[in-house]
Structure formats: C-alpha cells, structure tokens
Structure 1
Amino acid sequence: MADRKSSSGSRLTVRRKEKAENEAKKEEKPPKEGEKPPKEGEKPEVNGKNAPVENGEAAAAAAATGAENGAAANGDKPEPMELPPFEIITGDRMDPFFFKFQFKNVEYSSGRNKTFLCYLVDQGSDSLLRGYIEDEHAGGHAEEAFFQQVLPNYDPACKYTITWYMSSSPCAVCAGKLAEVLKSRKSVRLAIFSARLFEWEEPEIQAGLKALAAAGCKLRMMKPLDFTYTWDTFVENDEEQFTPWEDCQENYEYYQDKLADILQ
C-alpha cells in the first residue's frame, strides 16, 4: 500500500530469476536460541561487521556510484537513474524457485524486497477464487492490489471468507488500511498466514498488527504444513513433493512467539 521502509525502497529492474538465484546461493542462517532475526533488508554481520549484500540492487547501486565517480573525474554531470513503471503481477501458479526463495522463513532476508500474496476467496458458492499477487518496484503493495484487482466490487449481501498466505506480514500502513476495510465491510472475514514478520520490532508495525487483529483479522505464522499446502496449491511444482528446509519448524516457532507477544 504505502512504501515499505528499508526493504521496500527503490526496486531496480533486473532479471528477477537471476537476482533470486544469486541471493539463494548465499549462506542463510536460521535464528539461534535467544537471537532475533534482523529487519527486512538488513545486512548480516560477519565477525562483528556488516557484510555486503550482493544482490541486484546493491550491484546496480555500486555500478551507479562508479559511473558517477567516472563522470565526476571527466567533469560530466552524472545521468539520473530512472526506475521503470510500477506494476502488479498476478497469476495462477508461481515459479517454484521464487516460492522457495521468497517464502523461506530465514533469519537473513536479503534480496526479499517484495511481497508474494497467495489468496483463496470463498464467497459461499461452489467455486473458489484462487491465485497469487506479486508487487514490483515502489508503489502500491500486494495487499491493496488484492482489493483493487481480485475483489474490486463489494456486495454487502455476500459473505467473503478470505485466506492469505504471504511471504511477509503487512507493513504498518497496509495493516491500518486492512483494518479499515474489515471495519467497513462487515461480511468480510480475513485470515493472514505469514512466512516472516516484517520489521516486527518497530512500534508502528506492532500497532498496525494489533489494530488488524482488533478488527477481526486472524493472524498467524506459516507452519511447515502451510508451506506444503501453498506449494501444492499455488506453485508450478510439476507434481514434485515439497520438502521443508532445515529449521523450518524452529523458525516458525520463533516468529509465532514474537507475534503472540505483540498481540497479547
């Protein structure tokens, strides 16, 4: 909905899969007992120092800095870098590589600067609405796009049971706007299952999640079984069986405890 802090700043267009592949090759450490995951987009520490985040965004920034320095040396004014237009990507099933990378409930979330939202909508009929939304670049978020593109028209006479499986929990602004939607649309029931908590230490994030829960939204972290269900339902898996990554259960329990502390 509004620009996310830190992890959702300017998103440069690069080859999406190559960026994800490069990020996935980096070593990812699950939260150790007593430790907390860093915020979205935060650089991991190596020997007490921040290690460089070698993603497409960082590489592009480095290239831009080099170009600027070169231009300055030549006495030329550097050309401003322009971002491509904002877009929301929707579909029926996502690429399996994107799912394994974006939904991983790891400690270090470098490169995961977008939101994947898988949805199920039951309107009391025989058929369900099912699909996923992915936000790109800076601008509106997947949560807002859902109500603009999937459910643009609200019928007060119809009951809506909506379930979201999200790569990360909503930002503060999204949580506030979702709470207003639930207050104004009394026949809408929303449950959000998130792989990771987004900037959960920030007071405004905690206030947004509390407001969302107070408006009737069910909030929970994704269990290993939820990842399996999402893989089977929303991913082009070619009938491949999903195998949870190491410490998937441990990381779920860690984040669930943090969410429970926020909502108590």
Structure 2
Amino acid sequence: MAEKNFSMKRRERKEREAAEMNKDVKELKKEEEKGADGAEASGDGDGAAEQNGDFQVEPMELPPFEIIAGDRINPFTFKFQFKNVEYSSGRNKTFLCYLVDDGNASDGLQRGYLEDEHAGVHAEEAFFTQCMSHYDPALKYTVTWYVSSSPCAACAAKIAEVLTARKNFRLSIFAARLFEWEEAEIQDGLKALHAAGCKLRVMKPLDFSYTWDTFVENEDEALNLWEDCKENYEYYHEKLADILQ
C-alpha cells in the first residue's frame, strides 16, 4: 500500500511539474523576446549586456552558444534553470556557479558562472580550461560548484581524472537536480566522483537562497522559493544517498 501511495504521489507531482514547466517555458520565452527587442532597440546588444554586468558572450567567430561566462545570472533564468523539479524536460542547459579559493588571501575568492548549450564543451569541462587556465600545482585549491544539474557520465569521468591527478585540488559539487540518475552509467559516474574525493550534495533550500544572493542579479530582492522545493530536495537527497552508499 505504501509503495502504491508513493507511485501515485510521484505521478501527481510529475503532472503538476509538467504543467508548471510549460508555464515556465512560456514565461522564459517572453523574457528572451523582451531581451532581444531591447538589444535591437539599443543597436548594440552585446555592449549593453557587458555594461549591465549580465554576462559576456564568446566572440562571434567561435561556435555560438557553446559557453557563456559571466558574473551574475538573470533572475528569471536562475529560477527556471535551477528549479529542482524531477520533470526537467526543457531545461537543456547546465549552469555552473563557482567559488575558487587558492589559499592566497590577498587575491580573494574567484567567483562567477558558466553556462552551456550542450553544443560542444560542457560547463564542467570548460571550468578547467577557462577558469583554471593558470593552475599552479604549488597552491592548494578549494573549489565549490553550485550546478543546475549533476554532471553527465562523461563529465563525471573527466572530473574524477582531474581530482585523482591533482592532489591539491578539493572540489564540492552542490546540484539542484540529479541528471538522469536512473541510468547505470550516470550512477557509475557519481560513484567515481565520490571515490575520487569529490564532495557531492543536493542543494537544500538554504543553498538556493545563497546562490541567489551570490550569483544572481537580484536587485537586493530575497528569493521566493517555489512550491515543493524542500520536498524535491528530500527526494533527490534520498536518491543520491542510495547511489553513493
């Protein structure tokens, strides 16, 4: 009986999340169209984005929409991409917010975010090529990621290789959602990350608020968490615990 009630509850949640996703996608398209109209009106969309500190786009000679790097995420984009729903169709990007402490107090923390379109290099791999291009084996790095979804199998394998090779590199990953967690290769990848010393966690409600305050152009507005945020966290937390046990 308990298993039947759980299945019904899960099905009901998926139906509710599907309806919410359709609404979110429509609102996201409106925001993107509004942004596009504003860029056309200004006559220089890229320049306006840089002045506002929203994000910086790769030069046009590179493949478009591969990797976007920046300092602050658009608030509506954050609410859509980081929403910890189980039914996550339509959320086909990875947003990776990062903090890097290299032990040098005078330099302070390195902070920013990466966004990918899964057209080429994923955000996880781009972090090591773009944000860690001046890696120094003499330093001790403490790195924290807040990601919209956990790594795919290929990225998990590459991250595990880096952690195995760089003993001075400590990584913590806080994921809003678990990417295709039911797939065996995804589970193997998460286990490999864990074995390589990566601290894997699912984002709690407080983590969403912290990420909002630290990485989002929020205009000093507090994050109003969505319905079922805590319930969805508990769901993913249980699944990750089962995988890593």
Q: Do both proteins adopt the same fold according to a TM-score greater than 0.5, normalized to the shorter chain?
A: yes
The aligned counterpart of 1:6 is: none
Measured in 2, the distance between the counterparts of 1:180 and 1:150 equals 17
Measured in 1, the distance between the counterparts of 2:111 and 2:222 equals 20
Q: CA deviation at 1:162?
A: 0.2
Q: Under a length normalisation based on structure 1, what TM-score does the superposition of the two structures give?
A: 0.69
90, 108, 113: which one pairs with 1:111?
A: 90
Unaligned runs of 5+ in 2: 1-6, 29-62
Q: Secondary structure at the match of 2:158?
A: helix
Unaligned runs of 5+ in 1: 1-30, 46-50, 57-83
220, 236, 246: which one pairs with 2:227?
A: 246
Q: CA deviation at 1:110?
A: 2.1
The aligned counterpart of 1:189 is: 170
Q: CA deviation at 1:85?
A: 3.6
Q: 1:147 to 1:132 in 2, by over 3 A?
A: same
Give the alignment of 1:111-260 within 5 angstroms: 111-126=90-105, 127-260=108-241
**Count of aligned residue pairs for this structure pair:** 197
Measured in 2, the distance between the counterparts of 1:137 and 1:223 equals 26
**Amino acid of the residue matched to residue 119 of structure 1?**
Y
**Amino acid of the residue matched to residue 101 of structure 1?**
F
Measured in 2, the distance between the counterparts of 1:32 and 1:97 equals 31
Q: Secondary structure at the match of 2:243?
A: helix
Q: CA deviation at 1:153?
A: 2.6
73, 78, 89: which one pairs with 2:68?
A: 89
Q: Deviations over 1:19-54 (max 9, x none)?
A: xxxxxxxxxxxx97456988xxxx959xxxxx9xx8
Q: CA deviation at 1:136?
A: 2.3
Q: CA deviation at 1:184?
A: 0.4
Contact residue 95 and residue 113 of structure 2 kept, 8 A: yes
Identity of aligned residues (%): 71
**Amino acid of the residue matched to residue 223 of structure 1?**
K
Q: Under a length normalisation based on structure 2, what TM-score does the superposition of the two structures give?
A: 0.75
Q: Deviations over 1:51-95 (max 9, x none)?
A: 9xx889xxxxxxxxxxxxxxxxxxxxxxxxxxx645210001010
Measured in 1, the distance between the counterparts of 2:227 and 2:136 equals 44
Q: Does 1:99 align with 2:88?
A: no
Contact residue 119 and residue 132 of structure 1 kept, 8 A: yes
Q: Deviations over 1:210-243 (max 9, x none)?
A: 0000000000000000000000000000000111
Measured in 2, the distance between the counterparts of 1:238 and 1:202 equals 39
Q: Which has the higher contact order (CA 8 A, sep 6+)?
A: 1
Q: CA deviation at 1:134?
A: 0.3
Q: CA deviation at 1:156?
A: 1.3
